[in-house]
Amino acid sequence: MKRTERVGAMLQILRENPNKTFSLGYFCDMFDCAKSSLSEDVSAAKRALEISGYGRIETSAGAKGGLKYIPSISKKAAENLLNDLEEMMGEKERILANGFLYISDIMFHPAIVKGVGQIFAKKFENCGADYVVTVETKGIPAALMTAEMLNLPLVVLRRESKISEGSTVSINYFAGSAERIQKMSLAKRAVKPRTKALIIDDFMRAGGSVRGISDMMREFDVEVMGVGVMIASKEPVKKKVSEYFPLMYLGTVDADNQIIDVEQNVQAIEEVFG
């Protein structure tokens, strides 16, 4: 087997299993080669990732050591993604008569949410979370991609408790522009006490949903390590949660004059990519 083939196959296997550690021996067996020649392959794989602009390989020593792929995107790719989001969100045909903006297709767009997951994964890679948590429905894709990149389970809070969930804990909270009472519920077996969670959601207006998720986590004795949202509304300025990391800001949607006030959170990119 040639070096190019070994490096390519190694990259592909690592990439398919983000944040999972493989021992050097695993690849020695697979490629039937010595550890010494593999270490050159690892260097080549690292350089290839630098060139591609996606992710990196981390090596660790010791008995439990080995290689793992840390997914990410380059600063340039992240900037391109936010440019795409800004352009998509600014399309006038998204304006609904009631002053809302139609964004379901964006939240379910596989390439968009994958990029969002890569940015969140980089932002929160050292937050120590045991789960990614969201509440149904539109936040699920971005949360799933973040969880995949971080190699963590995804926990989804439901609006209604389902018969297939077993016993559940439910809470009521105020949410939405009309501040209606809403309910969310979580199966008792979904999380373990004294663990840590990363909250990911699609859209934050006043922060009621994220606050609800946080309150639910407290019920389960789970600590919240961070909050990532794809879009935060500019109003109200005062949210029900103090710390959150938004990628985009949405201001007024003026249906009469067909104006959408959308802005990138430029600081987010600076904060994550330096």
Residue ranges that bind its own copies, judged by CB under 8 A: 1-13, 15-17, 30, 41, 44-45, 47-49, 51-55, 96-98, 100-105, 108-111, 113-114, 136-137, 140-141, 144, 147-148, 151-156, 158, 163-166, 187, 189-190
Question: How far is 178 from 155, CA to CA, in rounded Å?
Answer: 27
What is the nearest approach in angstroms of its own copies to the Cβ of residue 242? 26
Length reported for the chain: 274
Whether residue 176 contacts residue 208, with contact meaning beta carbons closer than 8 Å, is answered with yes
The 8-class DSSP code of residue 124 comes to T
**Least separation, in Å, of the C-beta of 47 and its own copies?**
5
Comparing CA positions, the residue from 43, 8, 13 lying closest to residue 26 is 13
Question: At closest approach, how far in Å is the CB of 11 from its own copies?
Answer: 5
For its own copies, the closer CB: 37 or 267: 37
Instruction: Compare residues 82 and 142 and give the one whose CB is closer to its own copies.
Output: 142
Alpha-carbon distance values, 129 to 194, 218, 243 (Å): 11, 15, 16
- Minimum Å gap between C-beta 52 and its own copies is 4
Q: Residue 195 belongs to what H/E stretch?
A: strand 195-204
Q: Left (φ > 0), alpha (ψ -120 to 50) or beta: where does 258 sit?
A: left
Distance of CA 109 to the CA centre of its chain: 14
**Measured from the CB of residue 109, what is the shortest distance to its own copies in angstroms?**
6
How many Å apart are CA 8 and CA 115, to the nearest integer?
23
Which amino acid is it at 274? G
Residue 12 Cβ vs its own copies, minimum distance, rounded to whole Å: 4
* Closer of 69 and 173 to its own copies (Cβ): 69
Q: Which is nearer to its own copies, 113 or 204 (CB)?
A: 113
Nearer to its own copies, 5 or 87 (CB): 5
Min dist. Cβ of residue 267 to its own copies (A): 26
The residues near 259 (Cβ < 8 Å, ≥ 6 apart) are 252, 253
Give Cα 256 to chain centroid, integer Å: 35
Please, what is the end-to-end C-alpha distance for the chain in angstroms?
40
Q: Which is nearer to its own copies, 47 or 267 (CB)?
A: 47
Q: Work out the angle at residue 16's Cα, subtended by the Cα atoms of residues 12 and 22, and round it to the nearest 5 degrees.
A: 80
Q: Based on CB atoms, which residue is closest to its own copies, 20 or 266?
A: 20
